[in-house]
Structure 1
Amino acid sequence: MEPGYAPYEKEINGLREMQAVVGGSIQAIYPYQEPVAIVCNDEGILKHLPFNRSIEGGYGGVFGTFFVCGQGAESFCSLTPEQVKTYKQKFHQAEILLGAAGNEPITLKVEPRTKNKPSKGLSHPTPPGRE
């Protein structure tokens, strides 16, 4: 999940790729009962990464790009097709951070941009050669 964008599927293999996706050291959080993790940049807020999505259960929110993965016996693993559908729906809408009440972010949910497609009215078109 990238800030402002709709969720999409991506294969990630190994620690280096995980770090590349989130832009630094990884941190896993486990806000759900089912065996899944949200993997994000450990210093996202300190590095002033853009707010991405709110996470219920007292976790506040995630800053910067994150991904959701399954938890295997000893390491992260792929999500099941049902989990992919669930988390794509759960995180479909992008969020704009307006403020916070304690550890609970106050956000405005908006329609997300789609990866590799310009949004209508939300941004300027990318000039040729700068894609």
Structure 2
Amino acid sequence: MKILRVEPEKSPEIVDMEGTLEALQAAVGGYIEAVYPWDDPVAIVCNDDGKFNGMQPNRALYNEDGEIMDIIAGTFLIVGLTDDNFAELSDELAEKYAALFGTPEAFLRSGDRILVFPMGPDPDTCPF
């Protein structure tokens, strides 16, 4: 199935992978957790223990006011949804979420706040 893979410090990548539990777990490096922060028929599939087992912070999730709601640690996937299962992403949704997560982010703790900084181009895809 076609999904969007988002790795720390890299641009999102549309990939084709099996939709099995084992394939999803391998892609995120452990037990999976599904998160449903949007009205679109998509889910974030991430490592259930990513924050607790030292995975690198990857991307922030923001509310409608631009405030950080959560930070996803480690590689995560954006998958489509059916009534009862994960599914392939449509081209439209793949493009939408590739744009949303297109800029890698860096994180810095300052007191009781976490600051988020956009990173430069992915060195693997930068033409210069």
TM-score under structure 2 length normalisation: 0.82
Runs of 4+ in structure 1 off by over 3 angstroms are 118-121
Structure 2: state its 5+ residue gaps. Answer: 1-5
1:1-131 residue pairs with structure 2 within 5 A? 1-13=6-18, 14-57=20-63, 59-99=69-109, 105-113=114-122, 117=124
Aligned Cα root-mean-square deviation (Å): 2.3
What is the CA-CA distance between 1:73 and the residue it aligns to?
Answer: 1.6
Count of aligned positions? 118
Alpha carbons of structure 1 residues 39 and 59: separation in structure 2 relative to 1, 3 Å: farther
Per-residue Cα deviation, 1:74-118 (whole angstroms, up to 9, x for no partner): 10001110111101110010000112797x84200112426xx37
TM-score under structure 1 length normalisation: 0.80
Structure 1: state its 5+ residue gaps. Answer: 122-131
Provide the C-alpha distance between the structure 1 equivalents of 2:70 and 2:47, rounded to a whole number of angstroms. Answer: 14
Please state which structure has a larger fraction of its residues in strand.
2
Q: Which has the larger radius of gyration?
A: 1
